[in-house]
Chain A
Amino acid sequence: MKRLSVGSWLVGIVALLYFIVPLVATAQFSFQEGPGQPFWAAYTSILESAQFWQSLRLSLGMALAAVVIGLIVVVPAAYWAYLRVPQLKPWIEFVSILPFVVPPIVLVLGLVRLYASGFGPLSARVTMLMGAYGVVSLPYMFRSIDTGLRSMNVKALTEAALGMGASWTRIMFQVVLPNIRQSLLGGAFLTFALIMGEYAISSMLGFNTFGVYMLLTGQTQAQGAAALAIIAFILVWFFVAIMQWVSRNSITTIGGSR
């Protein structure tokens, strides 16, 4: 076995502390209840609040919607760019980082102006929020999928499949998706985590998402906010695990094409 040097141990330990200490401190603080209360009091009060569940449901729905929108829009677009217009890739990359550059307030004002003029159901505030999240998560989705496509020989694999009479759906589900599975997951995780913690856009559009609820809790009850952070942490990992499990059991069986 290769022996790790003292330096790399040191770096590892520092990094570990950097991540663990705030987490442990937060957890510890969340258990410091006043006299006469059980140490889990902060947790029960959070879990019993209706607002918690409402905001959680809203954010979960939004996060899933953003992931789905991202997958449906970005995968075919990026694939097409790789296959047919590789010379456009720099432009697509540029567009994909625009959401980083545009501040949320500008995005929201733009959305409101655009949709307020009346697009029927599209003008609903919920649709606006969903649209905004779709846009905000675009860079994360695109980057991940771009990495995946870069690591496979898109053109040759597609042509090999076409030459053997494969339809575009077959190519998408048996050749493209299975080979970028890791990056799809990566993009979905990032999007999911991003939307679960998002605050600026939802508060401006007047929604009580999970992020907004966390902030409000922080302003009123200190221990409660710490407990909420720990709950959020566990929740995100829980959903990430579920996504991993779902993808393993869906994409690989398609890809194995037994």
Chain B
Amino acid sequence: MAFLEIHQVRRQFASQVAVENISFTADKGEFISLLGPSGSGKTTLLRIVAGFERPDAGRIVVDGEDVTMMPPQRRNMGMVFQSYALFPNMTAANNVAFGLRTRKVPNDQIQARVRELLSLVGLEQKADRYPHQLSGGEQQRVALARALAPNPRVLLLDEPLSALDALIRVNLRGEIRRIQQTLGITTLYVTHDQEEALAMSDRIVVFNHGRAEQIGTPEEIYDRPTSAFVSSFVGAMNRLTCQVISRSAGTVALGNHELQVNALPNDVTDGDRVELWIRPERIRLGWDPDDVNQNHLQVVVDQVMFLGARLGIKGTIVGGGGALTLDVPRDANDRGAMLRPGASVDVTFSRSIAVTRASE
């Protein structure tokens, strides 16, 4: 049963629609990421759930209770801000205790709970430090402990890691996920980092211009994007514009090439323009002329980027068709491929790739 329900929520600032008819539900203990570019309405929705912002229309329901008009003080939700927002005049321990004191919890219980939370985030040694004596990562751990201390019904995080550097970000995101799973707390997590969303979430809501473009598990979002926006916002995507030669035979023309695809959209007819969506890592180097299940292209390498474990290749398809991005294992060169600018290489990709109608 859904624990947190968001029904047809809409919010407009002057003429700017920040959130437009968004609906989704979260089960108890589910971790849902709100992923989208800057200005797409993620924060606005999160603030509506927290009660800092009123929706113009729609309802927020928590555990069967409609909280749409309830002030934030009474919602019992934990919030973690991008700017940490720790009280500068209080120690880490007093920050964590704040939400317990407002709820008039007896003092000995407060002490125990503060210790428990600080050790959960690995900071029991630094209980008496003030925020300015803590690193950014430590401050955000305190903020997480503070949000969790009063046992909130829902945990809300607004880009909690975006002010931290890369290594701490990766560590801390693993830790947030671990803590969230240990406590089984229903969580909304705002981010514009697709890697973060893919790594942490049970499900992802992809935002674009205030709308939910797609809602699904990380695998669904990555493997079966339902819109061009999602396909290129989450991961990289080659989008090759082709023309249908024969719908019945499943053939399309890309430049001078004839390619085979397994599934064309139902509503296209011969001569229509379609897009092939191919992830860079789905394109293989080399070509076996006997393998009839693969499409073959020749690519002139324009640029080789060393990415550590992988090589990123940008190239141009020989015979027309546009640019192509490849993502190949780093040892590809050692195995005989000639990946340097100007070289021409054979590449293949499967016939079972996604094909959509071309957007006009």
Contacts and interface: CB of A to CB of B under 8 A. Distances in A.
A252 B88 CA distance: 12
B81 A255 contact: no
Interface in A176-196: 178-179
A153 B85 contact: yes
B44 interface: no
A153 B88 CA distance: 10
Measured as residues with beta carbon below 8 angstroms from the partner, the interface class of chain B is 20 to 34
A165 B85 contact: no
A255 B88 CA distance: 10
B339 interface: no
Interface stretch (A17-25, A47-55, A155-163): A155-163
Interface string A13-37: 0000000000000000000000000
B214 interface: no
A161 B89 CA distance: 13
A159 B80 CA distance: 10
Contacts of B86: 160
Contact of A159 (B85, B90, B101, B102): B85
Interface in A231-258: 252, 255-257
Contacts of B90: 255-257
Contact of A165 (B76, B81, B94): B76
Contacts of B78: 163
B52 A161 contact: no
A64 B89 CA distance: 27
A164 B150 contact: yes
B41 interface: no
Contacts of B135: none
Nearest to B80: A160
B102 A163 contact: no
A178 B150 contact: no
A165 B88 contact: no
Contact of B88 (A152, A164, A167, A170): A152
Given A179-B88, A256-B90, A257-B94, A165 B83 contact: no
Contacts of B335: none
A162 B101 contact: no
Given A257-B94, A257-B101, A162 B52 contact: yes
Contacts of A257: 90, 94, 98, 101
Interface in B101-132: 101-103
B85 A164 contact: no
B146 interface: yes
Nearest to B104: A165
A165 B102 contact: yes
A116 interface: no
Interface in B72-99: 72-79, 81, 83, 85-90, 94, 98-99
A167 B90 CA distance: 18
Contacts of A174: 87, 98
A152 to B, nearest CB: 7
A64 B323 CA distance: 75
Contacts of A179: 87-89
Measured as residues with beta carbon below 8 angstroms from the partner, the interface class of chain A is 20 to 34
Contacts of B50: 159, 163
Contact of B98 (A156, A164, A167, A252): A164
A156 B87 contact: no
Contacts of B103: 165
B83 A156 contact: yes
B76 to A, nearest CB: 7
B81 A164 contact: no
Point out which of A153, A157, A163 has the most chain B C-beta atoms below 10 A from its C-beta.
A163
Contact of A166 (B73, B76, B79): B73
B79 A165 contact: no
B102 A178 contact: no
A159 B89 contact: no
B98 to A, nearest CB: 6
Given A170-B102, A257-B101, A163 B79 contact: yes
Interface in A101-154: 152-153
Contacts of B99: 164-165
Nearest to B149: A164
A156 B81 contact: yes
A173 to B, nearest CB: 11
A175 interface: yes
Nearest to A252: B89
B212 to A, nearest CB: 24
Given A152-B88, A255-B89, A161 B98 contact: yes
Contact of B77 (A161, A163, A166, A170): A163
A246 to B, nearest CB: 18
A227 to B, nearest CB: 43
B52 A159 contact: yes
Contacts of B102: 161, 164-167, 170
Given A152-B88, A163-B52, A255-B89, 6 more contacts: A157-B87, A159-B50, A174-B87, A174-B98, A255-B90, A256-B94
12 contacts: A157-B85, A160-B146, A163-B50, A164-B99, A164-B147, A165-B103, A166-B73, A167-B73, A170-B102, A179-B89, A257-B90, A257-B94
